[in-house]
């Protein structure tokens, strides 16, 4: 099982529709736009990940955030505001939407 530190893969800026390779066989691409069904479908196809669910959550600063879960390769990713943080060996890729700052999601998969 692979673990990476969040700091080593923190994203300082996202470039629309650009796919970037990072150390540790991780690939991500980021956009700043609404997460439409088309993008959900694209990510599921691109990452070969299964869409699990979406739900509203409340952040510590009381922001309402929508979380999208995708299942892929027994690794759990939390993606929120340019930070990629691995939170455990679960089978979810989670995309967060911030209601205050608009959409900012990073699509992330494990290179096989």
Q: What is the DSSP string of 99-111?
A: TTTEE-EEEEEE-
pLDDT, residue 103, reads 39
Model confidence, pTM? 0.22
Domain boundaries, the chain: 7-110
Residue 66 tokens, joined: 């929508």
Which regions of the chain are under pLDDT 70? 1-112
Percent of the chain topping pLDDT 90: 0
pLDDT per residue over 14-39, tens digit each? 333 333 333 333 333 444 434 455 55
Contacts of 93 (CB under 8 A, 6+ apart): 47, 49, 69, 70, 71, 72, 75, 76, 77, 79, 108, 109
């Amino acid at each position: 099982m692979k673990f990476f530190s969040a700091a080593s893969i923190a994203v300082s800026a996202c470039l629309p529709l650009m796919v970037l390779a990072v150390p540790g066989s991780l690939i991500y691409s980021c956009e700043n736009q609404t997460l439409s069904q088309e993008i959900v479908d694209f990510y599921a196809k691109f990452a070969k990940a299964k869409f699990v669910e979406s739900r509203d959550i409340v952040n510590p600063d009381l922001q309402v955030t929508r979380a999208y879960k995708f299942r892929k390769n027994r690794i759990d990713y939390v993606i929120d505001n340019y930070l990629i943080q691995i939170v455990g060996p679960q089978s979810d890729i989670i995309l967060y939407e911030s209601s205050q700052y608009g959409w900012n999601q990073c699509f992330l998969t494990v290179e096989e």
